[in-house]
């Protein structure tokens, strides 16, 4: 057996703790990873933290290496970057990304880790899971050259989508959020910014990621006739009303869901591994550093997560730092 590791567990809704966990010796085809950084995706993880996963979605919402069950106790998370300490010779010493919870060391199949490209800092690589969501969303949305696009909701996912759209030729893209502070993030990503009441309309496509009823309503208002809203928000246990009266039918509007748990049908020939590798390649852009808005030590997570969940600490991606002896 390896020396014990430490992991963050949600002990009950709204309360977390660091627990000691035992680690097996890696078997053939497995790797031992020492964590360098992990990331807290404020939307999904704080929803889990407050116990907001509906019972009907307990199975669908399981993270790849989750332990325990919703609502608690549960070990949950999916943005981990570390160094391979033991395993196949061609992986030992490499920096890798893994969809693993917040834990100092862990053993997983070697197929569960993806090499981080040499031109992507480990600190930025924690964004890979969210950029992967953005890649899948844009495979679903299929924007065209010259499209007029709004991204409503300047959270971690919305900003990732806007950052990728900024690379499309001839596209007019605007990030829309009720928080004026998101203007600075938009500027760093190279996209225009507007408050909801000032957003530009006549959009061919709106990507909605605010997880609010008001944001979805405004997304529909920004569309041209026969335009499409791609819905990325996940509302957990909340009920949301959609304004399907008035001009919704006469303007022939479309609302389409996108969910990262399945590779977009538009790219059915691509694997999950392909999609994640692409996300990591895209993270070579230093502009994406703007999505990391805070950092704490691993040991501070039990105190920090309640403050993230309440909004006391405003965040896109909150990065967790592990010591060299983790």
pLDDT in tens, 95-122: 999 999 999 999 999 999 999 999 999 9
Mean pLDDT of 158-176: 96
Residue 181 has pLDDT above 90, yes or no: yes
Q: How confident is the model at residue 30 (pLDDT cuts 50, 70, 90)?
A: very high
What pLDDT was estimated at residue 112? 96
What pLDDT was estimated at residue 220? 97
- Rounded to two decimals, the pTM is 0.91
Q: Which residue has the tokens 């996912």?
A: 157
For residue 87, which phi and psi values (nearest 5 degrees)? 145, -160
Cα 48 versus chain centre, distance: 14
Residue 57 has pLDDT above 70, yes or no: yes
223-256 pLDDT per residue, tens: 999 999 999 998 877 888 888 988 899 999 999 9
Mean pLDDT of 176-188: 96
- Separation of alpha carbons 220 and 111, rounded Å: 41
- Cβ atoms of 127 and 291 closer than 8 Å: yes
Residue 149 has pLDDT above 60, yes or no: yes
Sign, Cα dihedral of 269, 275, 277, 279 = positive
What pLDDT was estimated at residue 80? 98
Residue 297 has pLDDT above 60, yes or no: yes
Residue 322 has pLDDT above 60, yes or no: yes
Residue 146 has pLDDT above 90, yes or no: yes
In this structure, the number of other CB atoms found within 10 A of the CB of residue 64 comes to: 12
What pLDDT was estimated at residue 11? 96
Sign, Cα dihedral of 77, 82, 84, 86 = negative
Averaged confidence pLDDT in the chain: 94
257-277 pLDDT per residue, tens: 998 888 999 998 999 999 999
Mean pLDDT of 289-307: 96
What pLDDT was estimated at residue 160? 96
Length of the chain: 326
CATH assignment of 2-127+283-321, given 3.90.180.10, 1.10.10.60, 3.30.1360.100, 3.90.1530.30? 3.90.180.10
Mean pLDDT of 157-180: 96
DSSP 158-215: HHHHHHHHTTSTT-EEEEE-S-TTHHHHHHHHT-EEE-GGG----EEEEEE-S-SHHH
Share of the chain above pLDDT 70, in %: 99
Residue 44 has pLDDT above 90, yes or no: no
- Separation of alpha carbons 321 and 296, rounded Å: 6
* Class of the CATH domain delimited by 131-266: alpha beta
Chain region(s) in the chain for CATH 3.90.180.10:
2-127+283-321
Chain region(s) in the chain for CATH 3.40.50.720:
131-266
């Amino acid at each position: 057996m390896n020396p014990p590791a430490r992991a963050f567990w949600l002990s009950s809704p709204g309360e977390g703790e660091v627990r000691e966990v035992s680690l097996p010796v890696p078997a053939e085809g497995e790797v031992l990873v020492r964590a360098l950084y992990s990331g807290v995706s404020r939307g999904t993880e704080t929803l889990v933290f407050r116990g907001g996963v509906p019972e009907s979605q307990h199975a669908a919402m399981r993270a790849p290496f989750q332990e325990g069950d919703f609502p608690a106790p549960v070990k949950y998370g999916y943005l981990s970057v570390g160094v391979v300490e033991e395993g196949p010779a061609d992986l030992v010493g490499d920096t890798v990304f893994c969809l693993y919870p917040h834990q100092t060391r862990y053993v997983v199949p070697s197929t569960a880790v993806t090499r981080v490209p040499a031109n992507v800092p480990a600190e930025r690589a924690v964004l890979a899971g969210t950029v992967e969501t953005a890649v899948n969303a844009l495979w679903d949305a299929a924007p065209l050259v010259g499209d007029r696009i709004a991204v409503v909701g300047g959270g971690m996912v919305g900003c990732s989508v806007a950052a990728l759209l900024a690379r499309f030729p001839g596209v007019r893209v605007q990030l829309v959020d009720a928080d004026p502070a998101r203007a600075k993030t938009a500027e760093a990503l190279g996209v225009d910014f507007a408050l909801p009441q000032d957003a530009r309309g006549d959009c061919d496509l709106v990507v909605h990621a605010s997880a609010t009823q008001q944001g979805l309503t405004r997304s529909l208002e920004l569309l041209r006739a026969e335009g499409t809203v791609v819905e990325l928000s996940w509302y957990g246990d909340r009920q949301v009303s959609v304004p399907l009266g008035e001009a919704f039918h006469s303007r022939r509007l479309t609302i389409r869901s996108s969910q990262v748990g399945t590779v977009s049908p538009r790219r059915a020939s691509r694997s999950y591994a392909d999609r994640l590798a692409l996300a990591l390649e895209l993270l070579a852009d230093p502009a994406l550093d703007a999505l990391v808005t805070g950092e704490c030590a691993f040991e501070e997570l039990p105190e920090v997560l309640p403050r993230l969940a309440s909004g006391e600490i405003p965040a896109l991606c909150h990065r967790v730092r592990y010591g060299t002896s983790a």
